[in-house]
Amino acid sequence: MGKPNRRALPTIIGVSVLTTLGANVAVLVARGDDAPAPGRGGEQRAQFVAASDSTRLSPAAVAPQGGRLTPHVLVAAPSTLPADLVAKVRRAKSVKGVEVVDAVQGMVAGKRVGLMGVDPSTFRNYTPKPTARSDALWRNVAAGDVAISFTMGNDGGVQLGSQVPVGGRRAQSPLRVGAYATMGIGDVDAVVSRTTAQALGMPTGNAMLISVPKTEPKTFIKKLRKVLPKNTKAVEVNPEIDYPAAGDVPTANGQVMTARQVRTVIKAAYTRLGWPYVWGGESEQEGGYDCSGLMQYAFAKAGIRLPRVAADQARVGWVVPYSKAEPGDMLIWANDPTAPGYISHIALYLGKGKMLAAPRRGTVVQVQDVYTRNMRGAVRVSPKTANGLAR
């Protein structure tokens, strides 16, 4: 997975507001003290929650899990959202729930990521089931810890229980990594309590998650934008990927890459062979590349601007079955069991069962045999779509 750099969240206070944001959603793999027991027949059910040692708060400090809601729309502004706007959204007929949060692009363990300040008692209900049900995880967050995504921990090398700097580029405070936790939101890699967020100087209540289960998010966003303050962004949370019917993929007229562009992309990717995997890496200055950073670099050499993260790169064309993949397509995988539709890894298809990829921490950019576990297909890249999404 790639470094956050996507569409909605402003940066930490004191830094100019960005127009894009991206982040990784990830699985929780270490077992916490409240994780479910092994299943029958000796089979171990998947464990996704990892709370770091004992909590520093009593169980009563965080409300029990309530009814879960799926967040469909993320709204973020440079400063506090007007109270009347929030109230108006809550009253909308199609809205089932609204959760106000503090949201920025901040620095966590030396990486710029999507960071949210949340109320652990209520925000937990907007997260995937394994995350929502972990009392220990949310008590740790309430106590002042930061919860980070598994990819940030595993691929980024940030250890559970370690102390890491969190904040802006100039002012940061050490926080304990209290959990690896997927939030199910493709724009968020780290979460703290709102109390901690205020101590870090983050904006107060400048974002909200909206659940509209019976309405098309794009339709809701179109209406919502009419009442949003200036410089406020509204985006769909984890939008669906375009899986076309057979024969619906264009073959010419500038909608797909030319043979020359394909050759340029593959040649550029080959020049990165042997470079280290670096989580968030996208250039020589960072000393290496992650999977989506590598794709961004290679396609840029052919004049094609890709979004920053794998989940967004998967939307720059049409997804076709691997059996129909052609050289220059991007292969995509969904490796998060708590968010099975979320694309978390990407590689460049070379043809004849080979691909060029930046696999994971501890490896280098390399040519690999294609594997199909958790694969979701191949992306036939549209330069027009890619350049539009990268703006």
Question: What would the mean pLDDT of 233-248 be, rounded to a whole number?
Answer: 68
Identity (one letter) of the amino acid at 325?
A
pLDDT classification of 335: cutoffs 50, 70, 90:
confident
Average pLDDT (163-187) is 84
Which of 136, 138, 160 has its CA nearest to residue 150? 160
DSSP-assigned letter for residue 63:
P
What is the reported pLDDT for 383?
A: 92
The mean pLDDT value for 332-343 works out to 72
Distance of CA 201 to the CA centre of its chain: 23
Q: Please determine, for residue 42, whether its predicted confidence score (pLDDT) is greater than 60.
A: no
User: Is the C-alpha dihedral spanning 36, 42, 46, 49 positive or negative?
Assistant: positive
Q: Which residue has the higher pLDDT, 186 or 221?
A: 221
- State mean pLDDT over 311-328: 91
Q: What token pair was written down for 252?
A: 């010419």
Residue 247 binned pLDDT confidence (cut-offs 50, 70, 90): low
Residue 326: phi, psi to the nearest 5?
Answer: -125, 155
Picking from 320, 368, 376, the residue whose alpha carbon sits closest to that of residue 348 is 368
* Lowest mean per-residue pLDDT among 78-87, 213-222, 252-261, 332-341: 332-341
Could you tell me the CA-to-CA distances from 81 to 15, 64, 113, 128, 207 in Å, in that order?
18, 27, 21, 26, 7
* Nearest CA-CA partner of 331 in 211, 317, 156, 28: 317
Binned at pLDDT 50, 70 and 90, residue 32 comes out as very low
Mean pLDDT of the chain: 82
Query: Over 70: is that where the pLDDT of 26 sits?
Result: no
pLDDT at position 40 over 50:
no
Q: What is the pLDDT of residue 297?
A: 96
Give the model's pLDDT for residue 242: 55
Ranking 75-89, 224-238, 366-380 by mean pLDDT, the lowest is 224-238
In sequence order, the 6+-apart residues with CB closer than 8 A to the CB of 285 are: none
Q: Is the pLDDT of residue 45 over 50?
A: no
Confidence of residue 30 (pLDDT cuts 50, 70, 90): very low
| DSSP sequence for 71-128 | --EEEE-SSPPPHHHHHHHHHSTT--EEEEEEEEEEEETTEEEEEEEE-HHHHGGGS-
Helices (H), ranges, the chain: 83-91, 120-123, 129-132, 135-142, 150-154, 194-200, 217-224, 259-270, 291-300, 310-313, 383-389
CA pair distance 33, 152, nearest whole angstrom: 22
Dihedral in degrees, nearest 10, Cα atoms 50, 53, 56, 60: 50
Sign of dihedral through CA atoms 319, 73, 203, 66? negative
Nearest CA to 385 among 266, 256, 219, 221?
256
CB 12 within 8 A of CB 166: no
Report the predicted TM-score, pTM, of the whole model to 2 decimal places: 0.76
pLDDT given at position 261:
96
- The predicted pLDDT at position 34 comes to 34
Tokens of 287: 């000393």
Distance CA 260, CA 336 (A): 35
Over residues 71-81, the pLDDT tens digits come to 999 999 999 99
Q: What is the DSSP letter of 12?
A: S
Q: What is the CA radius of gyration of the chain?
A: 21
Q: How large is the average pLDDT for residues 270-292?
A: 90
Percent of the chain with pLDDT over 90: 55
CB 59 within 8 A of CB 135: yes
